[in-house]
Structure 1
């Protein structure tokens, strides 16, 4: 296969893979965690997660290793905590 095609395939593969903890650490971004059961949410520190799971751990799979601190559910969704304006956050008392 030619070099041009190899590079194009590598770029496509890079775009289609999920973000890893190492990607977020390089960007200085945390992991946003959301409980699908009660709506509780929090941002986890990337450095802490890297020390526990390793730098190549995919961000979408982190939720399978978490438990909600509010209701103890294991139904947690995770994504990069991209900065945004007017972010909607549920508040629980």
Structure 2
């Protein structure tokens, strides 16, 4: 198994977005990666980010694989 950092090219293959998280105020949001080179390492994106809520530069960026988790249909009760 190859052990290397996740790049935007890897996420493009999986159609997975990048999510940023502020370690100061816990604000989180998706990051637009439009125009970024495909060899950009996902965790390095945070170096250029500032929290839009509190202005902190203490931000992390990570792949967001949550959209790949199967969703269970909501249980419906019969009345």
TM-score tier (shorter): 0.7 to 0.9
Match of 2:41 in 1: 58
Provide the aligned length of Structure 1 versus Structure 2. Answer: 69
Structure 1: which 5+ residue stretches go unaligned?
1-11, 86-93
Structure 2: which 5+ residue stretches go unaligned?
71-79
The match for 1:39 among 26, 43, 66 is 26
What RMSD, in angstroms, separates the aligned Cα atoms of the two structures?
1.8
TM-score by length of 1: 0.66
Larger RCO, structures 1/2 (Cα 8 Å, 6+ apart): 2
Match of 2:12 in 1: 25
Q: CA deviation at 1:77?
A: 0.6
Match of 1:74 in 2: 57
TM-score by length of 2: 0.77
